A and B are shown apart, each in its own frame.
Chain A
């Protein structure tokens, strides 16, 4: 049966079909008057031809009405669809709309059409309006239409419950599911669509598309509308998008790619890359100890996603929601990053939030980033030292503890705790910010296991060498051919011999490493004053793996390593191959660089334990509880207004007791609160942020889109221009036949009009 692309035009135009009848009636009222002598002949004619005249007039009127109807129908773009099935209601068209709600769809756009003229127009709003228009259009289109609407962030399966490809997503993830479109339920459907909001997720259409095939397979007529912003990162995925769409196309599904990020002045396929968009890519604490009243250094990384340099850029800073003086970034090169540092100080222990924010630009959601920091009164640092036979404290441990907590006005926030090696197996190591072992002899297997568990979980362990240190023991139990925590195999203790050719050369050389960055790059009188007499040499035959993360912090003048590190699990193992005390060197004795390097190293190790406390939007927030100590009810307070969600902890696969919050859809600070069995309140704060990669507004070019979807038939539409029609592309166009029919009607009208009209004949006088 016929359908029309522009149904609205049809309904507006059809009333004009009454024009001939109205004109006819008006003419009947506006006739002229003639006083006529031969009335009898006129009356005779009228009596004789009354029926014929009436029929001719009706025919003429009918032809004129048909001509107007035909013209309006022509303008409304008629099509012929599979008629009988639909006429009988047996065939339905299934429309599936996949709406990309990743936050890049929040890009502010210029209005493309007059009805888009508003300030807060975004690609998502434009796409949502297109879906609303589609609903209107389908409601006015004859036939039976059902619609399913889903958003990518909702349809993409969470990682822990990833469903196999081609398995249908649960119905509750769709905003509309197989809803029949009719004029009666159109308002309700419109309310749902108008209420759809953008997410803070970075989920592209790829994952969501996997749940679509079951919806359309087996449908006689299926149409997929993918409303997206065509960001490069979403489409240039490991699994080609064509592999996902090809089976749909092969099954006869009509695929429409609706571009919501182009329109108005942005008629180019890649407009957004020309516009600056700044992203807060990272905020991290870069040293210091998160203790109360201790200055904490922070570093913010900003990325310029545009193609022109941007600057100066003001950066607002908030601590626990309170504004504090902002800072400014002078310039950010195009496509590159810039870093800026600031410091914060928290007077009280507990969880705190640090938030930075850029001024508004094309994309608002990547302008802000939050970090959570757990501030303690003092951070415990465990120093493991062998005690002398008389039970006196090791001098190495003393020098190290003094460096980490000098006392007096120099608040480091650290609380060193010196324990014998046996404590490694008896203490809960997770409570320590870092663990330092100073000239410890052979450790037991339990002690090593405990230490490595700590390191795997993100802890940092520092080994100092000394007379008690056994190279063989280290190699066998702690290095274990690279499987252990110790960074490198040892050869044995050796003396650093003087260099007669250059007796003034400093013994210690700072390598390129953040811990010693403050000492590197120029002659440092404090570091130059360090004299190393003896050290533990690394086995000369050892060559660290290229991808093992092995790095030097310090070297000796003979190019032997003095301090090295190697990652272990999520943590780090550091070896300083001389004594902490002034037995093999003079470093710890009255040399300020000793304190500086030790504090920097501690900050590095502490940051390791904190770097995994940031979540991305959509990732679950797990709170691990202590069985028997903590109660199992955990209250999660959600940003931005502190809405509370209570979760009950359950045993995880790893055998832990944990409570999980999956509703991490909003960026900001999340707080988990629970009680211990003895009534003590506990709290954990975590920052949830957007994925900064989504801040890239780079879009696919037409050629790239063609490459990505090679072999897949699809229609590219612009959301601002699309007057969606349920039957667009479906059924044959009736334009030509209707045009011919219209010409026929016009010819017939002229013919009938000629027949019923008067045409004077030229005649000569009789």
Chain B
């Protein structure tokens, strides 16, 4: 079955599912049903080190021999223990909480809801395949984070982190990405779910830093339908969610110029993503998340040797 032939879950259906974990599971179930087995299946069993047991560790990884000798719980860690170290970076800035006027008639997913669901689904997928998954929510700094773990029960932590209340602050990509580049212990796949609105130079610089640290980068560029189509009519006053600006205008008159500007922005982002060898994908909030996921996984599969 090809991705295109799958009946995906529309975002408005997902929007009716209140809990993020259930939304992610619904997405992942759909993805797994439609996909072949994971191309990320690991095969390395070479022992690397012991480390002290911490809450959440899989009991099957406890070295019972050490416990028998020293009466202390250690878990064994192996070289290439996981197929992937996946770190999910979700933009929680104010611009991600844009609520379109159309939601007054039919509720849907905001950009943050979409990005969080996407991240949770990826986390679920990763954990299902034994990957270590961590996440962070940021605006002008990291507001909540969770280190990468492989435990299936880690998903609850992931969901809890993504559901943390946000501060409605503007984003500061350079600071956040620089911090991540310095603190992420090992190379892995960093997936950024963001609208990338903010200091564009900072975005590109941050991506470059992560890339220089050997991380594999994937960007889900989440934008709302309204941002891409600008369908407003009638006299409207626009108030900036992140910028302290406002503009009263006839949107029909500004639409062409706006579309030109945002198209230029997307082009610039695509160009820099390609230059930084990032896996870039523009997703509309109206696009089914599982569809976006399938596209992403299929593209990743093509990249693996």
Residues of chain A within 8 A of B52, CB atoms compared? none
Contact check, B252 vs A757: say whether CB atoms are below 8 A apart: yes
Residues of chain A within 8 A of B227, CB atoms compared? 37-38
Contact check, A39 vs B243: say whether CB atoms are below 8 A apart: yes
B-contact bits for A23-51, CB 8 A (1 contact / 0 none): 00001101111111111111111101100
- A 712-766 contacts with B by CB, 8 A: 756-758, 760, 765-766
Contact check, B260 vs A45: say whether CB atoms are below 8 A apart: yes
- Does A394 sit at the interface, judged by CB under 8 A? no
Residues of chain A within 8 A of B242, CB atoms compared? 37, 39
Closest 10 CB pairs of A and B: A45-B257, A31-B235, A37-B95, A41-B261, A39-B240, A36-B238, A53-B253, A45-B258, A49-B257, A37-B98
Q: Which of B98, B195, B248 contacts A31 (CB 8 A)?
A: B248
A-contact bits for B79-91, CB 8 A (1 contact / 0 none): 0000000000000
A residues near B, CB below 8 A? Answer: 27-28, 30-46, 48-49, 53, 56-57, 756-758, 760, 765-766
- B 278-301 contacts with A by CB, 8 A: 282, 284, 286-288, 291
A43 vs B261: C-alpha distance when bound (angstroms): 10
Given the contacts A39-B243, A45-B256, A49-B257, A758 and B251 also touching, CB distance less than 8 Å: yes
Q: Which of A28, A39, A756, A757 contacts B247 (CB 8 A)?
A: A39
Residues of chain B within 8 A of A36, CB atoms compared? 98, 238-241
Residues of chain A within 8 A of B195, CB atoms compared? 37
- Does B233 sit at the interface, judged by CB under 8 A? yes
Given the contacts A40-B243, A42-B247, A34 and B237 also touching, CB distance less than 8 Å: yes
A-contact bits for B217-235, CB 8 A (1 contact / 0 none): 0000000100101111111
Contact check, A57 vs B253: say whether CB atoms are below 8 A apart: yes
Given the contacts A34-B237, A757-B233, A765 and B252 also touching, CB distance less than 8 Å: no
Residues of chain A within 8 A of B98, CB atoms compared? 35-37
Residues of chain A within 8 A of B291, CB atoms compared? 765
Contact check, A35 vs B241: say whether CB atoms are below 8 A apart: yes
B27 to chain A: closest CB distance in Å?
Answer: 16
Contact check, B230 vs A32: say whether CB atoms are below 8 A apart: no
Give the total of B residues in contact with A, Cβ under 8 Å: 49
- B 86-106 contacts with A by CB, 8 A: 94-96, 98-99, 101
Q: Which of B111, B245, B251 contacts A39 (CB 8 A)?
A: B245
Given the contacts A760-B231, A765-B291, A766-B284, A31 and B257 also touching, CB distance less than 8 Å: no
A187 to chain B: closest CB distance in Å?
Answer: 48
A41 vs B266: C-alpha distance when bound (angstroms): 12
A45 vs B260: C-alpha distance when bound (angstroms): 8
27 examples of A-B residue contacts, CB within 8 angstroms: A27-B234, A27-B235, A28-B248, A32-B237, A34-B101, A34-B237, A35-B99, A35-B241, A36-B98, A37-B94, A38-B262, A39-B238, A39-B247, A41-B261, A42-B247, A42-B254, A43-B247, A44-B257, A45-B254, A46-B249, A49-B253, A57-B253, A756-B250, A756-B252, A757-B233, A758-B252, A765-B291
Residues of chain A within 8 A of B288, CB atoms compared? 765
Q: Assuming A36-B98, A42-B261, A46-B249, what are 15 further A-B pairs, CB within 8 angstroms?
A: A27-B235, A28-B235, A32-B236, A33-B236, A35-B238, A35-B239, A36-B239, A37-B95, A38-B258, A42-B254, A43-B245, A48-B260, A53-B253, A758-B232, A766-B287
B253 to chain A: closest CB distance in Å?
Answer: 4
Given the contacts A45-B260, A757-B252, A33 and B233 also touching, CB distance less than 8 Å: no
Q: Which of B224, B253, B260 contacts A56 (CB 8 A)?
A: B253
A33 vs B248: C-alpha distance when bound (angstroms): 9
A42 vs B231: C-alpha distance when bound (angstroms): 13
Interface of B is mostly: mixed
Residue of B nearest to A757 (CB): B252
Residue of A nearest to B100 (CB): A34
Residue of A nearest to B229 (CB): A760
A766 vs B255: C-alpha distance when bound (angstroms): 21
Contact check, A30 vs B235: say whether CB atoms are below 8 A apart: yes
Contact check, B257 vs A758: say whether CB atoms are below 8 A apart: no
Contact check, A46 vs B255: say whether CB atoms are below 8 A apart: no
Contact check, A766 vs B239: say whether CB atoms are below 8 A apart: no
| Most chain B CB within a 10 A radius of its CB, from A31, A36, A756, A757 | A36
Residues of chain A within 8 A of B258, CB atoms compared? 38, 41-42, 44-45
B7 to chain A: closest CB distance in Å?
Answer: 13
- Does B67 sit at the interface, judged by CB under 8 A? no
Residue of B nearest to A45 (CB): B257
A-contact bits for B142-161, CB 8 A (1 contact / 0 none): 00000000000000000000
A27 vs B234: C-alpha distance when bound (angstroms): 8
Residues of chain A within 8 A of B238, CB atoms compared? 34-36, 39, 42
A40 to chain B: closest CB distance in Å?
Answer: 6
- Does B197 sit at the interface, judged by CB under 8 A? yes
- Does B265 sit at the interface, judged by CB under 8 A? yes
Residues of chain B within 8 A of A758, CB atoms compared? 230-233, 251-252, 255
Residues of chain A within 8 A of B261, CB atoms compared? 40-42, 44-45
Residue of A nearest to B224 (CB): A37
Residues of chain B within 8 A of A30, CB atoms compared? 235
A56 vs B249: C-alpha distance when bound (angstroms): 13
Contact check, A766 vs B282: say whether CB atoms are below 8 A apart: yes
Residues of chain B within 8 A of A37, CB atoms compared? 94-96, 98, 111, 195, 197, 224, 227, 240-242
A28 vs B247: C-alpha distance when bound (angstroms): 12
Residues of chain A within 8 A of B265, CB atoms compared? 41
Contact check, B253 vs A33: say whether CB atoms are below 8 A apart: no
B203 to chain A: closest CB distance in Å?
Answer: 13
A-contact bits for B189-222, CB 8 A (1 contact / 0 none): 0000001010000000000000000000000000
Residues of chain B within 8 A of A27, CB atoms compared? 234-235
| Most chain B CB within a 10 A radius of its CB, from A41, A53, A757 | A41
Residues of chain A within 8 A of B234, CB atoms compared? 27, 31-32
Residues of chain B within 8 A of A48, CB atoms compared? 257, 260
- B 10-40 contacts with A by CB, 8 A: none
| Most chain B CB within a 10 A radius of its CB, from A30, A43, A756, A760 | A43
A42 vs B262: C-alpha distance when bound (angstroms): 9
A40 vs B233: C-alpha distance when bound (angstroms): 19
A376 to chain B: closest CB distance in Å?
Answer: 101
Residues of chain B within 8 A of A39, CB atoms compared? 238, 240-243, 245, 247
A43 to chain B: closest CB distance in Å?
Answer: 6
A30 to chain B: closest CB distance in Å?
Answer: 7
A33 vs B251: C-alpha distance when bound (angstroms): 12
Residue of B nearest to A31 (CB): B235
Residue of A nearest to B265 (CB): A41
A42 vs B248: C-alpha distance when bound (angstroms): 11
A758 vs B291: C-alpha distance when bound (angstroms): 29
Residues of chain B within 8 A of A44, CB atoms compared? 257-258, 261
Contact check, B262 vs A41: say whether CB atoms are below 8 A apart: yes
Contact check, B235 vs A46: say whether CB atoms are below 8 A apart: no
Contact check, A53 vs B254: say whether CB atoms are below 8 A apart: yes
Contact check, B254 vs A33: say whether CB atoms are below 8 A apart: no
A48 vs B94: C-alpha distance when bound (angstroms): 26
Given the contacts A45-B256, A765-B287, A33 and B237 also touching, CB distance less than 8 Å: yes
Residues of chain A within 8 A of B255, CB atoms compared? 45, 758
Residue of B nearest to A54 (CB): B253
A443 to chain B: closest CB distance in Å?
Answer: 118
B56 to chain A: closest CB distance in Å?
Answer: 36
A42 vs B237: C-alpha distance when bound (angstroms): 11
A38 vs B256: C-alpha distance when bound (angstroms): 14
A749 to chain B: closest CB distance in Å?
Answer: 15
A32 vs B248: C-alpha distance when bound (angstroms): 9
Residue of B nearest to A753 (CB): B252
A480 to chain B: closest CB distance in Å?
Answer: 112
B287 to chain A: closest CB distance in Å?
Answer: 5
Residue of A nearest to B260 (CB): A45
Contact check, B248 vs A756: say whether CB atoms are below 8 A apart: no
A43 vs B234: C-alpha distance when bound (angstroms): 17
A309 to chain B: closest CB distance in Å?
Answer: 78
A61 to chain B: closest CB distance in Å?
Answer: 12
B67 to chain A: closest CB distance in Å?
Answer: 54
| Most chain B CB within a 10 A radius of its CB, from A30, A35, A37, A57 | A37
